[in-house]
Amino acid sequence: MAPAGEAPQPAALPPGLDHVRTTDVFDEHTAPAGLRRAHRVADGVWGRLVVYTGALSFRFEDEPDQVRVVSTGDAMVIPPARLHHVTFDQGPVTFAVEFHRPPAGGGVS
């Protein structure tokens, strides 16, 4: 169970998605500014934020009081078009974002 004020992390990626690409590895200094403010993954694309070292805070804009701390070895699944942002208030961190989508001509149920 998540500590008070911390929401459980979303379930794993839906089955059947294809990995499209992974960003460079960022840290709290090199992360693009856009990640710190509300943004979304494109329609039909799923994101998966993977933390390699350290931790960061993740929030969905429709649940502003629910912080999710994503730590070393953890991942956060980000559904298509859902507004979210990260904050670097947990100390040093390294992470990347993977992008996944349904195969061409297919769908995910």
d(CA 17, CA 65): 30
In terms of residue numbers, what domain contains 80?
Answer: 40-101
Domain membership of residue 23 (yes or no) is: no
What is the model's pTM? 0.85
Q: What is the pLDDT of residues 21-78, one digit of tens each?
A: 999 999 999 999 999 999 999 999 999 999 999 999 999 999 999 999 999 999 999 9
d(CA 40, CA 24): 18
| pLDDT at residue 2 tops 50 | no
CATH number (domain holding residue 47):
2.60.120.10
Question: What's the domain count of the chain?
Answer: 1
| pLDDT at residue 108 tops 70 | no
Domain membership of residue 94 (yes or no) is: yes
Q: Quick check: helix, strand or coil at residue 37?
A: coil
